[in-house]
């Protein structure tokens, strides 16, 4: 398997972490978004959406979108709950992550840390909605150690990727103690270096 990913991208790291935690063999092909390497004719032939991560599976088929890739890789593993309702809750969190978390937490981080913008140059709604996303997670973690219960799942993988670096986007995690503790649990479960 070949994983085309940018090491600064939480979406790409999700794929790496799942592959690593499952002991999957792969070649990592560093693909810099900042250097427009996902816009070359060769890359576009593989993934017309011009986004990383993208993978070429062992049988040569391409697959894109981080959450689709990790779902494919984790099929049949403990990262996907066996119970149908718990599995649906995992998917609920994964869909929510791409719609209500990543567009604020990750976008703020990219704009501040990689494009050099100031917080005042960004739409204040990015920070408002990012804080709302973090608060939703804080509230959800009141009763369980992971987002879908007692065990780490793909929901946690999907959400830890950008939450663990939210401070780089101007989000102070001191106000979210359960989220901070959860980050540590997910990093430990997946053997992610802090």
Over the stretch 125-179, which tens digit does the pLDDT of each residue have? 999 999 999 999 999 999 999 999 999 999 999 999 999 999 999 999 999 999 9
Choose one of 31, 56, 74: the last residue of a domain. Answer: 74
Residue 69: domain span? 2-74
**Mean pLDDT, rounded, for 41-54:** 93
194 has a pLDDT exceeding 80: no
Let me know whether 58 and 107 are in one domain. Answer: no
β-bridge partners, 27: 2
How confident is residue 193, by pLDDT bands cut at 50, 70 and 90? confident
DSSP states of 108-141 as a string? Answer: HHIIIIIS---GGGS-HHHHHHHHHHHHHHHHHT
Specify the CATH number for the domain of residue 146.
Answer: 1.20.1050.10
pTM: 0.95
Distance CA 30, CA 16 (A): 12
Question: What integer pLDDT is reported at residue 8 of this predicted model?
Answer: 96
Let me know whether 105 and 180 are in one domain. Answer: yes
Question: 114-142 burial, b if ≥16 CB within 10 A, otherwise e?
Answer: eeeeeeeebeeebbebbbebbeebbebbe
């Amino acid at each position: 398997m070949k994983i085309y990913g940018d090491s600064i991208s939480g979406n790409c790291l999700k794929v790496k972490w799942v592959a690593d935690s499952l002991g999957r063999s792969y070649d990592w092909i560093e693909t810099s978004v900042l250097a427009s390497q996902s816009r070359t004719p060769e890359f576009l032939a593989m993934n017309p959406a011009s986004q990383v991560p993208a993978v070429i599976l062992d049988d040569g088929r391409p697959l894109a979108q981080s959450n689709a890739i990790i779902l494919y890789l984790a099929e049949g593993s403990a990262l996907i709950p066996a119970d149908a309702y718990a599995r649906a809750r995992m998917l609920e969190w994964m869909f929510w992550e791409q719609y209500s978390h990543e567009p604020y937490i990750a976008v703020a981080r990219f704009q501040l840390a990689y494009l050099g913008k100031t917080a005042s140059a960004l739409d204040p709604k990015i920070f408002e909605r990012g804080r709302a996303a973090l608060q939703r997670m804080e509230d959800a973690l009141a009763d369980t150690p992971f987002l879908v219960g007692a065990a780490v799942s793909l929901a946690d993988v999907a959400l830890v990727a950008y939450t663990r670096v939210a401070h780089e986007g101007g989000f102070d995690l001191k106000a979210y103690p359960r989220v901070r503790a959860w980050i540590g649990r997910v990093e430990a479960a997946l053997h992610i270096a802090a």
